Amino acid sequence: MARLQLSSPDQPLPIRLLLALYEVLASVYLAVSLLLLLAFVLAWATFVESWYGTEAVHFAIYDAWWFSALLGLLGINVLCAALIRFPWRRYQTGFLITHAGILVLLVGCIYSAVAGIDAQMPIFEGGINHLAFEDTRHFELKIYPDQSADGSYQVIDVPFASGPFNWADYEHRPFFPWRLGHRDQGLICNQNGVQLKVLDCYRDWTDPAVKPLTIRAAVPEKGSDELGAFEAVELEVRTMGVGQRGGPRVSGARERLSSGVRFVFWVAQSRAESEAFRLTTPDGPLGELGQIVLYARGQVFRFAVDELKPGGRLPLGETGYEVEFVNSSPAFLGLELRIHPPHGESQRMILFAEVPEFNVQATDHGVYGSYWIDAGSAAARHMAEAAESLHNPSEPRIDVIQTGEETLLYRVWQSPQMAEVGDLPVGQHVKVSLERSQRTMEFYVETFEPHQQPGIRIVPQPFDKDASPSMKAPQALIELTVDGNTETFWLESQHSGQMDSPPSETQRRVVIGNDRRVEVTLVPDSVDVGFHVYLDKFQRKLDPGTSMASHYSSLVDFVTVKMDPETKEEVRDETIEEGVLITLNEPITRTDPGTGRSFRMYQEAFRGPFKPGGEDGVYDAKLGGRVLHRETMPRDELFLSWLTVNYDPGRGLKYFGSMMIVAGIATMFYMRAYFFRRHSSGHTRTTQ
Amino acid sequence: MPFSYPASRTRTRDKVLAGGTLSAARRSRIGWPTVLLLLAAVCMAGSPRLAHGGEDHPLDFTAWQHLPVFYNGRMMPLNTFARLTVESVCDRANPRLSLDGVSDAGRQIPAFAETEKMFPDEAKAFTASEMLFSWMVEPERWEYVPFLIAEHEELRKDVFNLPVRSLKGKHLKYVSPYDVENSKGFDRALRSLAEKRRGLPGKNANLTSAERAVEQLYQAYMTYRSVSYDPFRDEPRKFMEALTAAADAWNASAQAWVNSREALEAVAPDIYGDDFDGQIEGVRGSIAAVGEVSKSGSVDPREAERLLAETARQAGSLAAQADQGMKEVFAGKCPPAVSEAQWKHLRNQSHIISNGAAELVVAVQQAQLTLYDSQKALRLLPGLNPAALEKNRDSEDDAQPWVSLETVLFSGDDVYRTFIRPDLLRVDGAPISPAEGMTRLEFLQQLASEGNPARKERVAFAEAAAAYLDRGAGDRAERFYSAMERFAAELRALGESIEPARTDLALRHPDEKLIEVTAYPPPGSTDAEVHYYRLDPFLWSWVLSFLALCCLAAALGAIRSPMYWTGMALLIAGQVFSVYGFVLRTYITGWAPVTNMFETVVFVALVTAILGLWFALSPLFGPGLHRAWRMTAMPGTPESGTLDDEDLAMMNAGTWTGIRAAMMIPRAGLVYYVFHLLTQVEYGVGTGYAIIRLLPRGASMNDQVVWLVGLSMLAMALWLVPRLVLTAALGVVTLPWSIYQSGLGNLLQKAMDRKAFAAVGAGTAFGVGLIAYYAPIWDANINPLMPVLRDNFWLTMHVLTITASYGAGFLAWGLGIAAMAYYVLGQYRDPLAPSPAHVAQGHRPAHGYQAPPESFHRRVPEQCVSLSGFIYKAIQVAVVLLAAGTILGGLWADVSWGRFWGWDSKEVWALISLLIYVGILHFRFTGVLRDFALAAGAVFGITSIVMAWWGVNFFLGSGLHSYGNGAGGGWFVLGFTAFNAAAVFAGAIRYLSETGGAATPVPAESRLPDGAMPKPQ
C-alpha cells in the first residue's frame, strides 16, 4: 500500500503542519515504533515485577501516567491509521473492524480502570457484611465539635497512596523512575484550619525488642557524701491490655535501684500530655486519700479525693468539661473518673498513685491527670505492704517520659511533694537531693532509643518482595494541625480483616483544637455495596488424599438488618433472597439498589476452620455458645470467607472490542484480503 | 546386554567427564551419547527398552505392576508409583546398580554374600517395580547397597569421603543407606543446610550445587525409609504425630472441664457428674500409657495396638457422653441466676469438651492406623478410616482413605479387623512379633504360617517374596508368577469386599464423592497407564520426527520423491504417536492434557508438525476442501451465487443448489447439537451454568452488552462449527474428486514445492519433542492437576489456543532459520533487466525502463523468496492464535476472578509476543528490509514466546500462573537466543554485502530454470 500523503506544498503552513502531524500519527512507522517500545516497556515491567513485586510494578509502570500516555498514543495511532484511509474500500473491512475493536477494547480498559471497583468482602459464617475493602487507603478525619448537641460530627476522607516501599527507599532503587509513580506526600489536606501532612511512611517495619532507655544513677551510702558506683537501670516498656482490641492499651516501664530509688518511664502520646506532665504537680496538703490534679486546655485543676463522692460531678473551670468521680480502689491506690465534655460521649480515666505509667488518660478530650498520695497515709502504707515493687515508698520516685518531640522530661516525686520537674537531655547529669536521708544522688541518661508509638518502636525493614503486602499494616508519620495546635505522630493503618472491631491505640489519635477535636485513623478504602450479605455456610471440598481444597463456595442470604438492642450489633432482619451459592469460577451478579451498579461476587479465599477452644480463640469470640439462624445445634467449625466484589463498567466494551478483533481477523481471512496485500519488491517479482 | 559400552569407550568417556567439561550433561538423565545410541538402536532393533540383566529366568512382574495404588490423591498402577518413588531415590526410574561402591564396612558383614547374589553379573538394571518389590522383601540387604543418589563430586569427596570412581574406573553415583546414616560429614552438611534454610524463611535460599545435592540425597534417603518402612524397627514418626494430636484433643476437653465443671454439673447433673470426671481421668491414663510405650523413640506396635484399642473404646464412650451433654446444654434454657454472657460461655465450654472428645476419637484411630503406615507408604487397599472419608476432615492432617501394604502384611488382627475386614474370624494365639535378627522374609513366613490363616493375601505375598529371593531356583519364575497372581486376586477380593463396609461407616458428614473415587477400581483400570509408560509414545514421536527430518532433508538435497513421501509418512506416524499419547494421558487423568509444562511442550511439538504438514499438503487437499466448503453455503445467500468454471465442470448449477439445500438438513441438526452443547449442558462442577447464557446476568447496560456479545459468539459458532463439520465430511468425496480433476501428478508437484514446510515442521517437532523428553527441568510423569483447574472449559480453550500459537511461532522460527541458512549459504542472483517482451506484456519493472546500473541490486536466493511467503503464513497463524488465546485467557480470568486483564507476567508476555508478531507484520508493510526482516523477525520473535512460555514460570517466577513454576534451563535458553542472534547476524552480513552495492543486470532470458538448487559459495 502506498504511503498516504495528504499534505502538499500548496497548502497554507498551519494546515500543512496539521496534516503532516496527522500523517505521522497514522503512519505505520509510528505503529511499529510504538508496538516495539510497548513490548520493551512491558518486558521491562515483568522484570521489575520479578524483582520488586506486583505492587511495585503497578505503582511504577502500569498505573503511572506515562504508561497511560503510551497506550493513549497507540490508541490515537490506531484511530488515525483507520481514519486516514477514508473513504474505505471493501477489502479493508477486516482491517477496519480489527482496528476499531482495538480502540473499543482500549476504551473499555480505561473506563474500567477509572470507574471500576475490585474489592474484598470478609464474612464469618453467621456474620453480615455490606462493606468491601480495596487495596488502597485513606485517612479518615472525624471532627467533633465541642458544641454539637446531638454528638454529630463531620468526616473528611483524605486519600493516601503510599507507594510500595518505605519512603526512604525511593532514593536508591536502580533501574527505575520510581519517583514518577504517584505518592501522597506532604500537605494532603487543608480544610478550615485542619491540616494533615504526611512526613514519612513505612510499608514494612518491625518492632525490635530493645531496652529503650538506660539510665545510670548513683546514690551515696547512708551517712556518707561519697557517691557510690553508677548503677545502670534499663527500662524496657511492657504493654498491658493488648489482647482486647479497642480497650485501654497502656505501656510503661519501671526499675528500682538497690537503694530503693524507683525509675518509671512511659511515652507521652501528645504534646498536651507532656505539658500535663510538667504541670499536674500536687499542691498543698494531700489528705488521707490524696489529691488528683487534672490538666485541660492548658489549665490545671486540683481536687482532694477525701471530698469526692461517687457519682458527683465537678466542673473544670470555664472549659465546659466536667469530671465525674466514679469510684476508688484503695487496694491499688487507683481511682476511676469520667470526663464529660459539654456535648458528646464521656471518656473514662483511670489514675494510679504509685504506677502512673499505667494511667489511662482521657486522650479524646485532651484531659490528663495525676494522682498523688502521701506515702505516710494509711492507704499508702497498706499498699506498700501488699506490693513488693512499691517497697519503701518513702524513697523518691523519678518519673521520666518521652515527649512528642522524642525528648525526655523528668520529675522527682518525694512523697508528699514534688521535688523537681525538668528536661532530661541525654548525658546530662542531674542531682537530686534526698531530703529524708540528707544525701544527694546523681543520675544521667546513658542511652535513649525513642519510641514512635506507646510501647512500640517502629524500625523500617528492608524491602522484601516476598513479604505479603496485604498482611502488613503500613505506618505513616503524620503531622496533624487543628486550629494551630500541631501534633506529630506515627499512625498504624487498620487492616481490612479487623474492621469489625474499633481501632487500637496505635491506630487512632486525637488532636484537640479550639472548641473541637479531630480524630484521625488510616483505614482501607471501602465500598458499600448497597445490600447486606449473610454468610450461611462456607463449604469446602477437599481433594481426595491431599490436603488441598478442591472447591470452595459460600452459601449466602441477602438480608436486611436491624440493630440488636442488647449487643448493639447488626443482626439479620428480613430475608430478601435465600440460599445463593457463590462458588469458585461461578460468580453471582447482584445490583446495588441505590446506585444501580451491578456487582459480581466471587469466591476468593477463606480462613479456618476455627474450632471451639482453638488456640486462636476466633471461634469462641465469634460464635462460642451461639446457634446460627435456622439451626438447633452449634457449628463444629467456623470459617471466614473472603469474597471478591467486582464492579467492572467497561466489561461490556472489553467483550465487544474483543469480539470485534476476532471478527475482524476472521473477516480478513474470509475475504482473503489478509492484513495487507502481499508486498513484493521489484527484484523478487520478476522471478515469479 | 546389548547396549553397554565396550570397556575402552567407557574409559575415554570417563576421562572426558573427569575433565569437568560435561558437568551439565552428567546432570541430565541420559547423556547425549546415550541418546544417539538409542536412536541407532531404534533404527536397528525397533525397541529402545533395556533388557533385564543376565538372569536365567526373568520374572513376570505384570500382576505386581498393575496393582492399583492410591497415591498423591489419585489412583495409579503400582508401576507408576514405583517409577515416581525410584526416580526420587535413584534419580532415574530404571537404575543400573552394582556393588562397586560398597564401603569396607559393608563388605565385612557376614550376609554380604547374600547381597552379592542380587547382582549376579556385577551390575544389574532394575525396573522400578522390581526394585520396589525388592525393597519390601529384603530390606536388610539394601542397607549396604549404594543406590541413593549422590552423584555430586563435592558431595562424595568432601562430605562422605567416598571415591568418585570405582577401582575399575567406573563413575560412582550412589551411596548406601548405611553410608548416609553413619557419615558424620553428611550429618554436618545437613545441619548447616538447615541453618541456612532457617536464616531465609519463605525464600529460595541461594543454595550451592553441593547443597542441593545434599538436599536431594536427604530426600532420597527419607523417601526410601518411608517406602520401606519397618514398623518394628524404624522410628514411628507419623504415629508420634498422631499421638500428639490425641494428647492435644484430650487437653482441650480436660481444660474446659476443669474450668467449668461445677457450672456444667449444675446445668446437666445426669451427664456432667463424677462419672464424667472419671472418664476424662480414664482417657488421660490410657493416653499416658500409650505415651510410655513409645517414649524411647521406637515403639512396640503390638503393645501399642493393645493399649490403643482400649483407649479407642474409652474415647468413644467419652465422646458419646460429651456430645449428649453438649446437646442438652444447648437445648436447655439460661438458668435465672446466670447472666446471658455467662450462659453463652458455658454453652461454649460444653461444646469445647464435646469437640475435643470427638477429635480425640479420630486421633486415636489415626494412631492405630499409623502404627503400620508412613508418609509415602505404598497404599494398595481401601481402608475403613472414618477420618479420611469425612467431608469436614482436617486439611492439616494426613488421614488416608487407603491403607498401606505394611498394614495389610504386618498389622495385628485388631487393627486389621478395625480398618480392613470387620468380619475377620478370631483365632487363638498372641500377636506375632519378629525375633531378634530375623530377616523380613523369615518374619513374613512366620506370619503366614502361624498367623490368622484367613489373611490369605499375606500368605500369597510371603510366597511371592520367597520365590523372588530363591535366586537360582529352577521353578522361580513360575512360583513367583503364581504367587503374585494370587496376591493380586486376594487384594482385589478384599478391596471389593471393603466397599459396602465403607459406605456403611458411621460418619458425621460422609464425603460421597471421595468414597466413590477411592473405591477399589474395576479390573483393567490401570492397564492404560502401564501401557502408556511401557509404550512411551512421546519417545516414538520425536524419534519418528527425527527420521522424517532426515528423509525430508535428503529430499531437499536432491528431489527424490520416494524420500519425500517416506519422510511425510514418518512425520505423520510420529504425530499419530503424539496424539495417541495425548489420548492415553487424557483417558488416564480425565482432563485435557495441557496443564503442565511437559504436556505443553509436547503439544507444541505436535502443533508445529501438524501445521507444517497442513501447509505442505494444502495444495493436495486445499481445493477439495474449498469445494466442500462451497457446497455447504446456504442457498440464496450471496456466497452461493458465484460458481466458477471448475465448479460447473464438476456439476451443473442446479445440482449445486440441490446439494446445498440438502446440506441444510444435517446442518440444522448440527446447529441444534452445538446450541445444546453451548447453552444447555452444564460445565464445571458448580451451579449449573452453561458456557453461554441465553439470558443477561443483570439489568445494567454493561450486562446487556456482555449478553449481546455472548449471543453474537453463539451465532458465529452456530454458523461456523456445523459448517466446518459438514465440510470435513464432504471432503471425503470432494477431495478425491478434485485430485482427479486437477491430476494427481500436478498437485503432488505443487505439494513437493512446499516441502520446506514439512522439513521445518519435522525438524522443529523433533527438537521440541527431544527437549520435552530429556530436559530435566520438568516432570513428564502424570501428576494430579490443581483442583481449581479441572473441568474448566475456558481454561482448556485458552491453553490449547495459546500453546498452538507457540507451535505456529516455532514453525515460523524454523522457517526463519532455514531462510537464514539460505541467506548465508545460498546462491544470490544477478538482477534482471526487463526484456522488451516482458514489457510488451504489460510487465512494469520496479527500476523503470531506463534505470541506471546503480539502481540494480543483486537478488536474494530463490528459496528465500518462497520461504518468506511461508514465514508470512506461519506468522499470520501465530498472530491469530495468539490474539484469540490471549482474549480467551482474559475471558477465563474474567469468568473466574472478575478481572479481564490484570497485568500478570504471563498475560503481559503473551501480549508482548502478540505485539512483536503484529509489529513484524506491520514492519513488513513499511517495506524496509522486506523479506530478510521478516525472516529475522521470525527468528527473534521466538524469544518472546520462549519468555512467555518458559521464562515467566522458570525465570521470572512471579505472577498467578504459578502452577507451572520450576527452575532451570537458563543456560540452554541463553544458548538458544545466542544461536538465533548468530544466525541472523551471519545472514545479515552476507545479505547486506551481496545486495548492498550496485550490480549489472543480466537479460531476463538468462535466469536459472525453476527448481534448480543453489550451490554453497
- Across all residues in chain A, what is the average pLDDT? 83
A638 φ, ψ to 5°? Answer: -125, 140
Cβ A46–B952 below 8 Å, yes or no?
yes
Residues B956-1012 pLDDT 10s: 765 555 445 556 677 888 899 999 999 999 999 998 888 877 777 776 554 444 444
How does residue B131 score in pLDDT terms, banded at 50, 70 and 90?
Answer: very high
Residues B62-100 pLDDT 10s: 999 999 999 887 889 999 999 999 998 998 888 888 888
Same domain for A378 and A492: no
Same domain for A104 and A236: no
Same domain for A110 and A198: no
Cβ B398–A655 below 8 Å, yes or no?
no
The answer to whether residue A172 scores a pLDDT higher than 80 is no
pLDDT recorded at residue B673: 94
Same domain for A663 and A643: no
A372-388 mean pLDDT? 72
Q: Is the dihedral of CA B871, B874, B879, B885 positive or negative?
A: negative
**How many pairs of residues across A and B have Cβ atoms under 8 Å apart?**
297
pLDDT recorded at residue A98: 92
The answer to the question of residue A339 being in a domain is yes
Distance CA B570, CA B578 (A): 12
pLDDT recorded at residue A496: 81
Cis omega before residue A87 (within 30°)? yes
pLDDT recorded at residue A649: 87
DSSP state of A353: S
Q: Quick one: three-class SS letters along B188-200?
A: HHHHHHHHHHHHC
Residues 814-833 of B with CB under 8 A from A: 829, 831-832
Higher pLDDT, A487 or B687: A487
Q: Is the ipTM of this complex over 0.95?
A: no
Residues A319-344 pLDDT 10s: 888 999 988 877 778 889 999 888 77
Distance CA B740, CA A555 (A): 65
Same domain for A385 and A297: yes
How far is CA B304 from each of CA A81, B244, B279, rounded to the nearest angstrom?
82, 14, 20
The answer to the question of residue A532 being in a domain is yes
Would you state the cell numbers that stand for residue B614, as one nine-digit string? 497442513
Considering CB atoms only, which of A46, A548, A652 is closest to B905? A46
A595–B contact, CB cutoff 8 A: no
pLDDT recorded at residue B392: 75
Cβ A585–B924 below 8 Å, yes or no?
no
The answer to the question of residue A683 being in a domain is no
Cβ contacts of A549 on chain B, cutoff 8 Å: 395, 787
Alpha helix (H) residue ranges in B398-524: 405-410, 413-419, 440-450, 456-469, 476-503, 512-517
Q: Which residues of B374-398 are buried (b: 16+ CB within 10 A; e: fewer)?
A: bebbbbbbbbbbbbbbbbebbeebb
pLDDT recorded at residue B85: 93
Up-side HSE of residue B126: CA atoms within 13 Å toward CB? 24
How does residue B2 score in pLDDT terms, banded at 50, 70 and 90?
Answer: very low
A41-52 mean pLDDT? 87
Number of domains present in the structure of chain A: 3
pLDDT recorded at residue A495: 84
pLDDT recorded at residue B28: 36
10 Å CB burial of residue B367 (0-12, 13-18, 19+) is: buried
Last residue of a domain, one of A422, A447, A472: A447
Q: To the nearest whole angstrom, how far is the Cα of B637 from the nearest Cα of chain A?
A: 15
A197–B contact, CB cutoff 8 A: no
Up-side HSE of residue B81: CA atoms within 13 Å toward CB? 27
Least confidently predicted of B120-134, B840-854, B946-960: B840-854
Residues B102-112 pLDDT 10s: 777 777 777 77
pLDDT recorded at residue B204: 53
Residues B894-918 pLDDT 10s: 877 777 888 888 889 999 999 999 9
Q: Which of A62-66, A501-505, B56-60 tops mean pLDDT?
A: A62-66
Same domain for A146 and A17: no
Distance CA B748, CA A218 (A): 108
Amino acid sitting at position B705: V
How does residue B936 score in pLDDT terms, banded at 50, 70 and 90?
Answer: very high
Cβ B705–A656 below 8 Å, yes or no?
yes
The answer to the question of residue A452 being in a domain is no
10 Å CB burial of residue A172 (0-12, 13-18, 19+) is: exposed
10 Å CB burial of residue B500 (0-12, 13-18, 19+) is: exposed
Cβ A681–B956 below 8 Å, yes or no?
no
The answer to the question of residue A57 being in a domain is yes
Same domain for A224 and A293: yes
pLDDT recorded at residue A674: 37
The answer to the question of residue A44 being in a domain is yes
pLDDT recorded at residue A679: 38
Cβ A28–B922 below 8 Å, yes or no?
yes
pLDDT recorded at residue B702: 80
Do B58 and B5 touch, CB atoms closer than 8 A?
no
- Across all residues in chain B, what is the average pLDDT? 81
How does residue B25 score in pLDDT terms, banded at 50, 70 and 90?
Answer: very low
Last residue of a domain, one of A414, A447, A480: A447
Higher pLDDT, B462 or B701: B462
pLDDT recorded at residue B835: 66
pLDDT recorded at residue B341: 81
Mutation site for B-interface testing, chosen from A61, A111, A686 by largest number of B Cβ within 10 Å: A686
Cβ A545–B698 below 8 Å, yes or no?
no
pLDDT recorded at residue A525: 92
Q: Which residues of A231-246 are buried (b: 16+ CB within 10 A; e: fewer)?
A: bebebebeeebeeeee
Instruction: Please tell me whether residue A7 adopts helix, strand or coil conformation.
Output: coil
Same domain for A160 and A109: no
| DSSP β-ladder status, A570-583 and A549-563 | antiparallel
pLDDT recorded at residue B490: 93
The answer to whether residue B647 scores a pLDDT higher than 90 is no
Q: Is the pTM of this model over 0.95?
A: no
Same domain for A480 and A510: yes
Q: Which of A429-443, A518-532, B9-23, B416-430 tops mean pLDDT?
A: A518-532
Distance CA B1009, CA B1017 (A): 19
B842-846 mean pLDDT? 58
Residues 60-99 of A with CB under 8 A from B: 62
A452-477 mean pLDDT? 75
Higher pLDDT, B696 or B729: B729
Q: What angle do CA A469, A470, A471 make, to 5 degrees?
A: 95
DSSP A155-188: EEEEEE---SS-GGGGTT-TT--GGGS----EEE
Same domain for A134 and A113: no
pLDDT recorded at residue A686: 31
Q: To the nearest whole angstrom, how far is the Cα of A285 from the nearest Cα of chain B?
A: 45
pLDDT recorded at residue A146: 77
Q: Residue A538's beta-bridge partner residues? A: A554
Cβ contacts of B838 on chain A, cutoff 8 Å: 686
Considering CB atoms only, which of B513, B857, B926 is closest to A28? B926
Q: How many residues does chain B have?
A: 1017
pLDDT recorded at residue A673: 38
Percent of chain A with pLDDT over 90: 23
Same domain for A423 and A356: yes
A615–B contact, CB cutoff 8 A: no
Distance CA B802, CA B795 (A): 10
Do A316 and A296 touch, CB atoms closer than 8 A?
yes
Residues A207-227 pLDDT 10s: 777 777 888 888 877 666 677
The answer to whether residue B47 scores a pLDDT higher than 60 is no
Same domain for A154 and A90: no
The answer to whether residue A407 scores a pLDDT higher than 60 is yes
The answer to the question of residue A201 being in a domain is yes
Mutation site for B-interface testing, chosen from A3, A23, A46, A62 by largest number of B Cβ within 10 Å: A46
Q: Quick one: three-class SS letters along B316-368?
A: HHHHHHHHHHHHHHHHCCCCCCCCHHHHHHHHHHHHHHHHHHHHHHHHHHHHH
Percent of chain B with pLDDT over 90: 25
Q: To the nearest whole angstrom, how far is the Cα of B542 from the nearest Cα of chain A?
A: 32
The answer to the question of residue A431 being in a domain is yes
How does residue A546 score in pLDDT terms, banded at 50, 70 and 90?
Answer: low
Do A605 and A122 touch, CB atoms closer than 8 A?
no
Q: To the nearest whole angstrom, how far is the Cα of A500 from the nearest Cα of chain B?
A: 20
**Domain extent at residue A46:** 13-117+648-676
pLDDT recorded at residue A4: 64
Higher pLDDT, B156 or B897: B156
Cβ B923–A32 below 8 Å, yes or no?
yes
How does residue B141 score in pLDDT terms, banded at 50, 70 and 90?
Answer: confident
The answer to whether residue A410 scores a pLDDT higher than 90 is yes
pLDDT recorded at residue A370: 92
Residues B702-717 pLDDT 10s: 888 888 988 988 998 8
Residues B194-227 pLDDT 10s: 888 776 554 455 677 888 889 889 999 999 998 8
